[in-house]
Every structure is written in structure tokens, then in C-alpha cells.
Amino acid sequence: MTERIISIADERYQRLPPHVPAPHEIPAGPPTDRLGRRLHDLRISVTDRCNFRCTYCMPKSVFGADYAFLPQSSLLSFEEIERLVRIFIEHGVEKIRLTGGEPLLRRHVERLIEKLARLQTRQGQPLDITLTTNGSLLARKARALRDAGLQRVTVSLDAIDDAVFRQMNDVDFPVADVLEGIAAAAAAGLAPIKVNMVVKRGVNDAQIVPTARHFRGSGHILRFIEFMDVGASNGWQMDDVLPSAEVIARIHAAFPLRSLEANYQGEVAERWAYQDGQGEIGVISSVTRPFCAGCTRARLSTEGRLYTCLFADRGHDLRALLRSDHDDAQIARAIAHLWLGRDDRYSEIRSAQTAALRKIEMSYIGG
């Protein structure tokens, strides 16, 4: 069988440190990019490994038994992550999301959470720390995560029907174990819990209403995500996208909805409440209703590459600066320089041509 090469292979091992400008080249205060967007959220991938092989993210055809994941020595240490987060805070970051791969596969991830939970924003407030997980290890980890200082958790769950869910995760993992993890997280106080469902037409769209029915009245927030053209391995095509408007229409027909205002500027999910007061749902419409204009997120890969867009084709090697003689002020200027030059708006300019371009895999930098 011919080996399939994906775009992250070369990117992961390149060592191209970003430019470090002189102090006078960087304006004072938190940076804004070329489109006037501030830096508010930092998503940190703590591992490139995952124990699921979801076809839209880490298909077995690419991430098979022989796939070479990054060695432990390449990963940022918890101390290096903490150092970078301190620097990002000075640039205005207030929210941290730990992602993967599957972040609970990173050994002792609670220790990292403990370190981050001690940090404060520029305004002296605790950082907003959350984590996205497939839920497979959540039942055994939930209490330790909460005790370490984690505030909230988002769980990926693409179907409530066991057969459909096993087919989508492609490792025959049962839906009951994820539901057990959600229950454990709720019991530990990791709330409100958000449950993310990636919708792919003809694959799991029949699960929209049943999954909504399951979580109605639970206090958890179910969010439906349009299937996106992230990376090069998931075979994305527009025909597979079920627009969020249709998701809302299907649920509204079963359980009438009303729209809600956003919780904060830049929130990616459109919010909808059940008219009978049984909770809320959300839709994330990156394909049909792009929200690039309000994007305040940066992403840090597991070995320290900074990405300014989920659909980026390359990152910037902050690890090289960390492991050299650069001090915090120099690294801060390098990050500010990158953000000041940012003009990413991929979802607004998406086309058949851009969808075919080389892009970094979502499993590598987190969703």
C-alpha cells in the first residue's frame, strides 16, 4: 500500500523561529491585527495523539498504526506552556482552552491546569480555563481536573445512537462511556458542560433531533458544528455540509426555539433557547455564516508552533525562542509582531480553490 503523506509532516519538523523586532518597532499595549481584532483566546494543543479515529478528523487511512506521532522530547513542557501563557496574558489573553488530539492522553495534565489556574489576567481576574475532550477518559479524570482548577469542559459527541457513534469514532467506542464521563464532569462541578456535535450530511444528520431530545432539560448546552474543510485528510466537499439553518429548522419543528443574544463579543456559536425553558442549543456555522470578523483566537501546537487561524498553512516556531537565550520581552515582541501582521479570514473567502489548498490538520492544533 502506498503511504499517504499529509501536510503536517514537514511542518512539524521545520525550525523557523519568528522574527524578534526591536523594542521601538512594537507599539505599547495589547496588539490588534490588521482587521482590528484583539488577541483574547489561546487554544493550546497538549498532545497530537488521540484514541479515536473520527473520519472527519483523524481517519485511519492517514493516522494508522504506523503513523509517527511527535516524540515526548518535542512537546512543550508544562513549564514552557506556563511561560508562554504568562506572555500571552500581557497581550490581552483571558481565556485558555486545552485541546489535542485528546488532551486527557497527556500524562499529568492536571499539573498543567494547576499552574495555569494560579495565573491572572491583566485586570487581576482568574483566567478562564476550559478543556475540550472526546470524553473517553473523563469519568476517571473529572474530579482531579476540577480539583486542579479546571472550570468548564466541552465534550465531543457526534451521535446519541450507539451504532452511529461507534461508526463515527471508528474505534468501536461506546456512547454510554462518553455519557458516563459527562455525568462525572457535571457531578464534579465542571459546568456548564458544552457538547459538540459535528454534523456531516448523510452520515449523522439523522441524529440531530434525537441528540437534542436527549440533552433537553439536562442543563448541558448542545452545539452543532458544520463539517469544515480543516486539513487535507478528511475528504471535505461542500455537498457533505448541512447548513446550520437546516439544523435549527429540524429542531424547531420538534421543539420550538427562540434566538438568544451572544454572551460576549466574538462568541462563535449562535445561541437558541427552547421556548418551553428546557435549556439552549448552539450552532457554529464556519462554512455558511463565517465569523472571521470577530475572531480573537490564536492556537499553539503541542510542540510550540503558533497559528493565527484554524485554516493556516504554516505556524511560527515559538519553541525555538523558548529553548534559546531569548527572554520574555523578546518573545513577547515576536508574538506581538505576528499578531499585528495577521489578516486571516479564510472562511470569508472560502472557495473550491481555497478548500483544496494545503492546510494544517485540526488534530494537530485543536478545533
User: pLDDT tens-digit profile of 7-38?
Assistant: 444 466 566 789 999 999 999 999 999 999 99
**pLDDT score of 356 more than 70:** no
End-to-end CA distance of the chain: 30
**pLDDT score of 56 more than 60:** yes
What is the model's pLDDT at position 3?
42
**pLDDT score of 266 more than 90:** no
Q: Which residue has the higher pLDDT, 148 or 3?
A: 148
Q: Which residues pair with 316 in a beta bridge?
A: 306
Sign of CA dihedral 284, 285, 291, 295: positive
Q: Which residues of 130-146 are buried (b: 16+ CB within 10 A; e: fewer)?
A: bbbbbbbbbbebbeebb
**pLDDT score of 218 more than 80:** yes
What is d(CA 171, CA 53) in angstroms, rounded to the nearest whole number?
Answer: 6
**pLDDT score of 254 more than 50:** yes
Closest CA to 52 of 108, 133, 145: 133
Residues whose CB falls within 8 Å of the CB of residue 351, separated by 6 or more in sequence, listed in order: none
What is the model's pLDDT at position 4?
44
Contact assessment for residue 234 and residue 56, using Cβ atoms and an 8 Å cutoff: yes
User: For the segment 95-127, what is each residue's pLDDT rounded down to a tens digit?
Assistant: 999 999 999 999 999 999 999 999 999 999 999
Element (H, E) at 13: helix 8-13
Residues whose CB falls within 8 Å of the CB of residue 175, separated by 6 or more in sequence, listed in order: 157, 159, 160, 161, 162, 165, 166
Contact assessment for residue 248 and residue 237, using Cβ atoms and an 8 Å cutoff: no
What is the pLDDT averaged over residues 318-333? 96
**pLDDT score of 344 more than 90:** no
Domains of the chain from N-terminus onward:
8-365 (3.20.20.70)
Alpha-carbon distance values, 86 to 40, 52, 92 (Å): 13, 32, 10
What is the model's pLDDT at position 1?
37
**pLDDT score of 222 more than 90:** yes
What is the pLDDT averaged over residues 55-63? 87
What rounded mean pLDDT belongs to the chain?
90
What is d(CA 357, CA 217) in angstroms, rounded to the nearest whole number?
Answer: 42
**pLDDT score of 147 more than 60:** yes
251-256 — which CB contacts under 8 Å span 24+ positions?
A: 251/208, 251/209, 251/212, 251/281, 254/209, 254/212, 254/213, 255/212, 255/213, 255/216
Candidate from 37-46, 150-159, 193-202, 281-290 with smallest mean pLDDT: 281-290
Closest CA to 131 of 107, 101, 159, 158: 101
Residue 202 backbone zone (phi > 0: left; psi -120 to 50: alpha; other: beta): left
**pLDDT score of 235 more than 70:** no
Q: What are phi and psi of 16, to 5 degrees?
A: -125, 90
pLDDT band at 275 (very low <50, low <70, confident <90, very high): very high
